[in-house]
Amino acid sequence: MKIKETPSRIVFRIINTILMLILAFICLLPLWHVLMASFSNPTVLSQNTGVVFWPLSSPGHPATLKGYQLVLRNVGLARGYANTIFYVGVGTLLCLFFVSIAAYCMSRRKTLFMKYLVVLLMVTMFFNGGLIPTYYVNKTLGIVNTRWVMIAMGLIGVFYVIILKTSFQQLPASLEESAQLDGAGHMTVLLKIILPLSKATLAVIALFFAVGKWNEYLTAIIYLNNRALYPLQCYLREMLVDSSGNQEIAISGDADTYNEDFKKLLQYSTIIYATLPILAIYPFVQKYFVKGVMIGSIKG
């Protein structure tokens, strides 16, 4: 049915479009500022106090890639990049594995005490033992100051389990019944029938977990003493908050050309360096967002 275009509806659409464009501009402006500042001349950049809309330069002080050159030479940042990729990759795979199994068990219509199990899991979303008990549990398990503590912390999210459980329950029960008549077991039903039909939800969960794990640094500060195990965000924090990161880059980079003017340039270059993978991956999974997040919003 075609909706009649009344004057009030046209005015609403115009105002709505303008507001959305303003909101998009506000969201993109900080990222654009950081990107353009990372290509600016450090001397001119250090004198600038406003928003950077294009790479800053002046006669005798051209735009430069020196910030990225110094960042790429830094051994600590490269090691942090490798650690973060490991934590995100392994953690995302294990998260999807365990969350899928938990959601499958809870979505079975004949599961005993399922309602009570859901309530019990939801309680953990609002209450936990606290930092000190959690630290002693990890210490007793022997994973403190190891890579596994970065992977294990937050591995199974109850929110993800509930979303995936709802997605599984919306699939026709006849699919599972026909597979069982053909002799398929639970793992076969899960891996070959249910998971392929829930790709949108799995993609959303994978992206949410990966982004959270990519930006995680508090866990590393609490549980890691070995700098060789630090994720990228710890080095980024040192770069933006402390002076140790800038000093390390100055030593590993070109110390003759490094000066105080490079500090801001290095900060902007490091931010782009740290966020580039997420910016590159997001467009490929964005199409699953609406379908995956809206699972369970419509009943019947």
pLDDT per position as a tens digit, 46-75: 777 777 888 777 777 787 787 788 778 777
Q: How far apart are alpha carbons 206 and 20 in whole angstroms?
A: 28
Mean pLDDT on 103-132: 79
Mean pLDDT on 202-225: 87
What is the per-residue pLDDT for 91? 92
Compute the C-alpha angle 207/16/33, nearest 5°: 55
Reported as a single tens digit per residue, the pLDDT across 137-196 is 888 888 888 899 989 888 888 888 888 888 888 877 777 778 777 777 778 888 888 888
Q: Within 10 Å of residue 179's Cβ, how many Cβ atoms?
A: 16
Q: Are the beta carbons of 220 and 80 closer than 8 angstroms?
A: no
Q: Are the beta carbons of 70 and 266 closer than 8 angstroms?
A: yes
Structure-block tokens of residue 88: 């995100």
What is the per-residue pLDDT for 59? 79
Q: Are the beta carbons of 159 and 293 closer than 8 angstroms?
A: no
Whether the pLDDT of residue 251 is over 50: the answer is no
What is the per-residue pLDDT for 173? 77
Mean pLDDT on 279-287: 72
What is the per-residue pLDDT for 260? 64
Model pTM score: 0.77
Torsion over CA of 164, 169, 173 and 177, rounded to 10 degrees? 50
Counting every residue written for the chain, the total comes to 300
What is the per-residue pLDDT for 90? 92
Task: Look at residue 127 and give its three-state secondary structure.
Answer: coil
Q: How far apart are alpha carbons 270 and 37 in whole angstroms?
A: 11
Grade residue 258 by pLDDT with cuts at 50, 70 and 90: low
Q: Give the helix ranges, DSSP H, for the chain.
A: 7-38, 42-47, 66-73, 75-107, 114-126, 131-141, 147-152, 158-169, 173-181, 186-189, 199-214, 218-223, 232-240, 244-252, 262-285, 289-293
Q: Are the beta carbons of 67 and 269 closer than 8 angstroms?
A: yes
Grade residue 300 by pLDDT with cuts at 50, 70 and 90: very low
Q: Are the beta carbons of 26 and 41 closer than 8 angstroms?
A: no
Q: Is CATH 1.10.275.10 the right assignment for the domain spanning 75-228? A: no
Q: Which range is most confident: 49-63, 86-100, 122-136, 176-190?
A: 86-100
Q: Are the beta carbons of 63 and 41 closer than 8 angstroms?
A: yes
What is the per-residue pLDDT for 171? 79
Q: Are the beta carbons of 151 and 88 closer than 8 angstroms?
A: no
Which is more confident, 140 or 44?
A: 140
Task: Look at residue 247 and give its three-state secondary structure.
Answer: helix
Q: What is the DSSP letter of 61?
A: B
What is the per-residue pLDDT for 23? 92
Q: Which long-range contacts (CB under 8 A, 24 or more apart) does 113-118 make?
A: 118/162, 118/165
Task: Kindly list the domain boundaries of the chain, sorted by start residue.
Answer: 7-73+242-288, 75-228
- Mean pLDDT for the chain overall: 79
Q: Are the beta carbons of 36 and 55 closer than 8 angstroms?
A: yes
Q: How far apart are alpha carbons 288 and 73 in whole angstroms?
A: 37
Q: What is the DSSP letter of 4?
A: P
